[in-house]
A and B are shown apart, each in its own frame.
Chain A
Amino acid sequence: MKNKHVAVIGAGPAGLEASSLLVSMGYAVTLIEKEEESGGHLKRWHQLFPNRKAGSEVLAILQNQLNGSASIEFNKEITSVKPFSGKFIISTSDGWVTHADSVLMTTGFDLFDARKKEEYGYGIYDQVITSADLEEMFKTEDSLKIRLGQQPKRFGFVHCVGSRDEKAGNIYCSKVCCVTAVKQAIEVKELFPDAEVYCFYMDLRMFGRHYEELYKEAQEKYNIQFIRGRLSEASENKYGGVIVKVEDTLLGKPLKITVDMLVLMTGMVAPLVTSRIRDLLGLTKDEDGFLAPSDIHLSANICEIPGLFMAGACSGPKTIGDTLADARSAAVAVDKYFKN
């Protein structure tokens, strides 16, 4: 039993957490990652909602607890997983192959490509950036100040970019971006206390513990303003400012405002390669593109192929807390599979 071998595909938070648990249960684990280092999206986040813990701190703990106990294969993007007489053959497109008794998919998500919402001007106007770009800028203390000059007047945050938008192909909510916007708005106010910050939203989804409190703090302590309305378009004025148009739906009137920087809260999408693996395996195709578990209540880590498991954001948008809990639950499911 205990010499069983599990291949974990994707070394983000889900893959790291599940691997260390599987190792502690006595399994041989190979963690396979397409990038040259582990961490997934977490390595890009400066501070985490809701408590502003450093992303690097959480990542270091996840990496350290694994500490050499699983073999990690870097720079290997898995493009195919095939069941073969009770085992799995796992391979990349350039010929690297490995075998395992069980496979755990932890391939996470991709960021929605904001250029697809052309009317928002990402990639066209200099001062339109994404939430992920902003995290990068927070990491290097002065980069935002240098980019904007010392006294930016106004920032705008656009919620639901590429989410809840059938024109963009995604009907679902990405779950983490409302609270991320609130967190980032606060961080911007800390850097530029005199600036005004506006969030343009359709609904504010402060679902998690302490999120509503963070929202209230953003209003009370930081004077961040929330305007309910979805952006129709952004355009540049001759001074490099970004003109934003929304309907202020709570007043029933169109509203025009100029900001110095516009941040697009890009959502999560299922990675194309994950969908390809899903289709090769003939797994259920969910409309949103994410991997479909057998049952979202009772067996969130299991699918129709025995021995194949999933955890983390590859089966739908999740926070890091959700992801880690899901990863531990997947490790238990793998263990149960081998023991039966």
Chain B
Amino acid sequence: MKDAATRFGYSVNKDRQIDFDNNSHDIALRVAAAEPTLNLCISCGTCAATCTAAKFADFSLRKIILLVKRGEVGGLEMEASRCMLCGKCQLACPRGVSTRNLILQINKALQTSKL
């Protein structure tokens, strides 16, 4: 019985689904308040394409922005801290997202939410 349950995907592991209703949207609200250009992102990926850090590590600003917006912030801190704040992405972003400050604010919000 137990065997069948796990094999058919009814296990107790957290599934991959984004549970938007139950996720906390506190980080997204705080980041948007501190850096309103969060809302301007169109997920084009230019920032990640130009990013120096992304060449060496699993890090994409585009993805981080989306994860923040969806409230999928568990374990995000490590990834978000990989930014070197070089500011290259800010020159490239077509929507005028203030990317550098955005990452600073995301890092700040993630850190204070732990306290």
Interface footprint category on B: 10 to 19
Q: Check if B108 is an interface residue, CB within 8 A of chain A.
A: no
Contact assessment for B18 and A248 in the assembled complex, using a CB-CB cutoff below 8 Å = yes
A255–B36 alpha-carbon span in the complex (Å):
24
Query: What B residues does A219 contact at CB under 8 A?
Result: 39-40
- In the complex, what residue of chain B is closest to A196 when comparing beta carbons? B25
Interface residues in B12-62 (C-beta closer than 8 Å to A):
16-21, 32, 36, 39-40, 43, 62
Contact assessment for A257 and B21 in the assembled complex, using a CB-CB cutoff below 8 Å = yes
Contact assessment for B70 and A251 in the assembled complex, using a CB-CB cutoff below 8 Å = yes
Knowing A223-B32, A225-B69, the reply to whether A250 touches B43 (Cβ < 8 A) is: yes
Knowing A225-B69, A250-B66, the reply to whether A255 touches B18 (Cβ < 8 A) is: yes
- In the complex, what residue of chain A is closest to B39 when comparing beta carbons? A219
Q: What is the CB-to-nearest-CB distance from B35 to chain A, in angstroms, rounded to a whole number?
A: 13
A312–B46 alpha-carbon span in the complex (Å):
39
Query: 0/1 per residue, A219-230, Cβ < 8 Å to B?
Result: 110010100100
Chain A's interface: helix, strand, loop or mixed, by majority?
A: strand
Q: Check if B67 is an interface residue, CB within 8 A of chain A.
A: yes
Query: What B residues does A248 contact at CB under 8 A?
Result: 18, 66, 70
A113–B62 alpha-carbon span in the complex (Å):
37
- In the complex, what residue of chain B is closest to A204 when comparing beta carbons? B42
Contact assessment for B21 and A256 in the assembled complex, using a CB-CB cutoff below 8 Å = yes
A253–B36 alpha-carbon span in the complex (Å):
26
Query: 0/1 per residue, A232-263, Cβ < 8 Å to B?
Result: 00000000000000001011011111100000
**Pick the contact of A251 from B36, B39, B40, B63 — CB < 8 Å?**
B63
**Pick the contact of A255 from B20, B32, B43 — CB < 8 Å?**
B20
- In the complex, what residue of chain A is closest to B41 when comparing beta carbons? A219
Q: Check if A216 is an interface residue, CB within 8 A of chain B.
A: yes
A219–B39 alpha-carbon span in the complex (Å):
6
Contact assessment for B20 and A251 in the assembled complex, using a CB-CB cutoff below 8 Å = no
Contact assessment for A256 and B19 in the assembled complex, using a CB-CB cutoff below 8 Å = yes
21 contacts between A and B (CB under 8 A): A220-B39, A248-B18, A248-B66, A250-B43, A250-B62, A250-B66, A251-B63, A251-B67, A253-B18, A253-B72, A254-B16, A254-B17, A255-B18, A255-B70, A256-B17, A256-B18, A256-B19, A256-B20, A257-B20, A258-B20, A258-B21
15 further A-B pairs in the complex, CB-CB below 8 A; given A251-B63, A251-B67, A257-B20: A219-B40, A223-B32, A225-B69, A250-B62, A250-B66, A251-B72, A253-B17, A253-B18, A253-B72, A254-B17, A255-B18, A255-B20, A255-B70, A256-B20, A258-B21
A: residues with CB less than 8 A from B are 216, 219-220, 223, 225, 228, 248, 250-251, 253-258
